[in-house]
Amino acid sequence: IERRMLEMSDELYEIEQEVSI
């Protein structure tokens, strides 16, 4: 479960990076 949450956070982080640009 923790690993899945980490993957979701990673995706959200990437989305934030794209929005930031």
Per-residue pLDDT, 21: 62
Query: In the chain, count of helices (H) and strands (E)?
Result: 1, 0
The SS3 assignment for 21 reads: coil
Tens digit of each residue's pLDDT, the chain (21 residues): 688 888 888 888 888 888 876
What pLDDT sits at residue 8? 87
Say how far apart CA 18 and CA 16 lie, in whole Å. Answer: 5
Residues in the chain: 21
Give the per-residue pLDDT at 3: 85
Say what the pTM is: 0.33
pLDDT of residue 5: 82
d(CA 16, CA 19): 5
